């Protein structure tokens, strides 16, 4: 039981992303970092190949694709993994819980790069759908695990108290178990988001676009400046998304007991 | 005790065997709880008292037997509906940490679909009843309350939908002794106002004796060894098991059962009004309150002990406590206005205490 939980370290924090006074740290780091990169860029003279990559239009398009892949895959993960996690924590299905968590852990152990390429050989073929399937497989585990763990750590006595005063099983789940599990569940979604931002960089290899396209193309053409810009954007994006999720985590963590 | 009337809760030959266990946790148990009575279920751990309690509201489904609630067979009705008709109070872990005090109390009314106005009024009424000022406590979260306050909220929640029956599972178990004592007094005071039928699980015999109209002593294997009034359990244990469970402190515990207003007290007289007739005499202030002893038979004027008092509503246990504390050989028993109604002397304790009929 302990093995799957360790793959999602933020679960251990129980969902409090540090005191609010430190919430400004990440945005400052991101802004300073991007400032340095673009400051450096301003001192460089770009050749025609670089100008074709490093311009507002291309970057916006690739960034949009990247965000689309990340957002859609995360939504799919939430829609599939949270109900599965809830179902697994019901008494009727609790017996298959270890097996499902093991399979989900196995999926996550597969390198996403390999999975993306392999799925491209299935009837799904190349494109965004394939990329999203691969991203979903890669980030499924933290959400399932944290849903299960979050629900499991709700005090049994509290659930029994809810049933004891006459709440139905569904009311107990909705009003007591889920609200108390939300901080841990949000921590799982945060891990999934960050995984997806990173892994979406690989989507370019099956023609699904994203910021990886700029990195890969510029590497091939030997344009390190363009690689630097695109890679910094991926890093900044991952940090900002993690920060936003952290803020959300902090807000839901503060409400619970 | 309404022994003759129909019991509010009746368990008939109820048994529970947990899956995978050969011996039943509760065996063929019969228990009748009279309406308006507090029945205390005591016994060592693992003797089935909590299992029995939870079968009353079917949190645990009995393996066999019948449960009757006010004459109606509820063995097969929907468990959720049944539980909404029965108050349930457990240790303070049962409060929902993400609900405010008001929301915690309002859980059952909300499930029952009361309108908002009625719920608010009921919550305020109940918070008043349990001694928590609504304006101050309504919007707090459980973690902002002390253990005793949390437990009061728990009691308020149990009472919310005004159920005829309350089940309480060691509600004061995790509370420090001083607060527990006060909560018990408040609980009895509330019960005087609401007159519920209450089943109360505890492992603390002193608590059982203090609160119970009747005590059910559970023994190993989930059977009731004795079901009787606290006095009977303490003075006439049904068998060796009960005798051992009641233990060597039974004689002292019995003192807390005997209320002073049921005793024939020694007469006392006010100083300066007529003859003393050999009675203890006290000096009183303008309102008739006792200030000091003026004369005690057989005691010289220089050896007079301090005048200590105990209310008429107290027990012999309280009187002993006061006497020991003040090292006084007697205590004045006073009414609500602090006017002495009599005295209890230390020597009387070791003789048969003379009692009047029940008031």
B223's enclosing H/E stretch is strand B223-228
* B contact test, residue of A150, A156, A157, A166 with most B CBs within 10 A: A166
The two beta strands, B330-334 and B309-311, are parallel
| Contacts of A225-232 spanning 24+ positions with Cβ under 8 A | A225/A41, A225/A44, A225/A46, A225/A50, A225/A54, A226/A50, A226/A53, A226/A54, A228/A37, A228/A40, A229/A37, A229/A38, A229/A41, A229/A54, A229/A59, A230/A53, A230/A59, A230/A62, A232/A33, A232/A34, A232/A37
pLDDT the model gives residue B117: 94
CATH code of the domain covering residue B338: 3.10.580.10
Give me the tens of pLDDT residue by residue for chain B, a chain 359 residues long: 444 567 899 999 999 999 988 889 999 999 999 999 999 999 988 889 999 999 999 999 999 999 999 989 998 888 899 999 999 998 766 899 999 999 999 999 999 999 999 999 999 999 999 989 999 999 999 999 988 899 899 999 999 999 999 999 999 888 888 888 888 988 999 999 889 999 999 988 888 988 999 999 999 888 999 999 988 888 888 999 998 888 767 777 778 777 788 788 888 888 876 666 678 888 888 888 888 888 888 777 778 888 899 988 888 888 999 999 988 888 999 988 888 888 998 888 877 666 664 43
pLDDT the model gives residue B1: 44
Q: Which residues, 6 or more positions from A89, have their beta carbon under 8 angstroms from its beta carbon?
A: A97, A147, A148, A151, A152
Same domain, B136 and B71: yes
Same domain, B137 and B78: yes
Number of domains in chain B: 2
pLDDT the model gives residue A102: 87
Structural domain boundaries enclosing B303: 260-350
CATH code of the domain covering residue B68: 3.40.50.300
Q: Report yes or no on B109 lying in a domain.
A: yes
Cβ-Cβ pairs closer than 8 A, A with B, add up to 68
Last residue within a domain, chosen from B207, B228, B255: B255
Last residue within a domain, chosen from B201, B231, B255: B255
B180's enclosing H/E stretch is helix B177-194
pLDDT the model gives residue A121: 87
Residue of B nearest to A253 (CA): B98
Q: Please, what are the averages of pLDDT over each run of 10 residues along chain A (257 residues)?
A: 37 43 84 92 84 86 93 95 93 86 82 85 85 89 92 90 92 92 91 91 88 90 89 92 88 64
The two beta strands, B38-42 and B214-219, are parallel
B157's enclosing H/E stretch is helix B147-159
Are residues B90 and A157, on separate chains, in Cβ contact within 8 Å?
yes
Task: Determine whether B347 is exposed, middle or buried from the number of CB atoms within 10 Å of its CB (0-12, 13-18, 19+).
Answer: exposed
Q: How far apart are CA A242 and CA B33, in angstroms?
A: 59
Q: Report yes or no on B1 lying in a domain.
A: no
State the DSSP code for A89.
T
pLDDT the model gives residue B51: 93
| Superfamily of A71-255 according to CATH | MetI-like (1.10.3720.10)
Q: Report yes or no on B357 lying in a domain.
A: no
Hey, what are B111's tokens?
């499930």
pLDDT the model gives residue A4: 39
The residues with which B32 forms a beta bridge, in sequence order, are B10
Hey, what are B256's tokens?
């807390």
Beta strands in chain A (DSSP E): none
Set of chain A residues whose Cβ sits within 8 Å of the Cβ of B167: 164
Same domain, B180 and B228: yes
Same domain, B342 and B290: yes
A257 neighbors A180 (Cβ within 8 angstroms): yes
Residue of A nearest to B163 (CA): A165
pLDDT the model gives residue A87: 93
Model pTM? Answer: 0.74
Q: How far apart are CA A56 and CA A39, in angstroms?
A: 16
The residues with which B344 forms a beta bridge, in sequence order, are B331
* Residue B81 contacts A where some CB pair is shorter than 8 Å: yes
Rounded (5°) CA angle B56-B106-B170: 40
Are residues B142 and A160, on separate chains, in Cβ contact within 8 Å?
no
Q: Report yes or no on B358 lying in a domain.
A: no
Set of chain B residues whose Cβ sits within 8 Å of the Cβ of A180: 97-98
pLDDT the model gives residue B274: 62
pLDDT the model gives residue A19: 55
Q: Which residues, 6 or more positions from A201, have their beta carbon under 8 angstroms from its beta carbon?
A: A66, A210, A211, A212, A215, A234
Last residue within a domain, chosen from B255, B290, B310: B255
Instruction: Name the one residue in this structure whose structure tokens are 């499991």.
Output: A152
């Amino acid at each position: 039981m302990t093995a799957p939980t360790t793959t999602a370290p933020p679960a251990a924090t129980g969902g409090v992303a540090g005191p609010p006074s430190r919430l400004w740290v990440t945005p400052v780091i991101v802004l300073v970092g991007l400032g340095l990169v673009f400051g450096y860029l301003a001192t460089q003279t770009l050749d025609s190949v670089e100008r074709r990559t490093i311009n507002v239009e291309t970057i916006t398009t690739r960034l949009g694709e990247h965000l689309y892949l990340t957002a859609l895959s995360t939504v799919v993960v939430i829609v599939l993994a949270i109900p599965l996690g809830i179902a697994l924590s019901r008494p009727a299905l609790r017996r298959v819980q270890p097996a499902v968590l093991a399979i989900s852990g196995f999926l996550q152990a597969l390198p996403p790069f390999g999975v993306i390429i392999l799925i491209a050989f299935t009837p799904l073929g190349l494109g965004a759908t394939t990329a999203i399937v691969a991203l979903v497989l890669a980030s499924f585990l933290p959400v399932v695990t944290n849903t299960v763990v979050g629900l499991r750590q709700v005090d049994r006595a509290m659930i029994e108290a809810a049933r004891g005063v006459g709440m139905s099983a569904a009311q107990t789940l909705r009003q007591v178990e889920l609200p108390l599990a939300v901080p841990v569940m949000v921590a799982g979604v945060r891990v999934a988001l960050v995984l997806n931002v990173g892994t979406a960089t690989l989507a370019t290899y099956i023609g699904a676009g994203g910021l990886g396209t700029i990195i890969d193309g510029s590497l091939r053409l030997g344009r390190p400046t363009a690689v630097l810009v695109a890679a910094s954007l991926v890093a900044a994006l991952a940090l900002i998304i993690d920060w936003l999720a952290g803020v959300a985590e902090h807000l839901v963590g503060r409400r619970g007991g | 005790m309404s022994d003759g009337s129909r019991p509010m809760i009746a368990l008939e030959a109820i048994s529970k065997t947990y899956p995978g266990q050969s011996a039943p946790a509760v065996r063929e148990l019969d228990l009748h709880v009279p309406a308006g009575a507090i029945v205390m279920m005591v016994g060592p751990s693992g003797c089935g008292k909590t299992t029995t309690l939870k079968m009353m509201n079917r949190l645990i489904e009995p393996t066999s037997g019948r449960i009757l609630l006010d004459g109606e067979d509820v063995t097969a009705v929907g468990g959720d509906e049944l539980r909404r008709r029965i108050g349930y109070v457990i240790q303070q872990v049962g409060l929902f940490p993400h609900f405010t005090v008001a929301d915690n109390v309002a859980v059952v009314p909300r499930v029952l679909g009361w309108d908002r106005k009625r719920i608010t009024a009921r919550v305020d009424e109940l918070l008043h009843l349990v001694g928590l000022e609504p304006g101050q406590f309504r919007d707090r979260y459980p973690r902002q309350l002390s253990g005793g306050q949390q437990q009061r909220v728990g009691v308020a929640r149990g009472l919310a939908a005004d159920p005829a029956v309350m089940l309480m599972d060691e509600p004061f178990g995790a509370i420090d002794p001083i607060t527990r004592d006060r909560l018990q007094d408040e609980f009895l005071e509330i019960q005087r106002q609401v007159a519920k039928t209450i089943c109360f699980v505890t492992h603390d015999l002193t608590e059982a004796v203090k609160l119970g109209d009747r005590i059910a002593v559970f023994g190993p294997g989930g059977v009731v060894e004795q079901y009787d009034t606290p006095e009977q359990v303490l003075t006439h244990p049904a068998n060796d098991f009960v005798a051992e469970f009641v233990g060597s402190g039974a004689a002292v515990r019995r003192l807390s059962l005997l209320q002073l207003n049921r005793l024939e007290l020694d007469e006392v007289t006010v100083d300066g009004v007529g003859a003393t007739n050999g009675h203890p005499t006290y000096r009183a202030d303008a309102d008739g309150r006792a200030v000091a002893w003026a004369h005690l038979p057989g005691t010289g004027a220089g050896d007079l002990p301090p005048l200590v008092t105990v209310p008429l509503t107290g027990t012999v246990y309280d009187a002993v406590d006061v006497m020991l504390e003040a090292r006084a050989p007697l205590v004045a028993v006073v009414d609500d206005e602090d006017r002495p109604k009599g005295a209890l002397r230390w020597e009387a304790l070791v003789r048969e205490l003379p009692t009047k009929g029940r008031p």
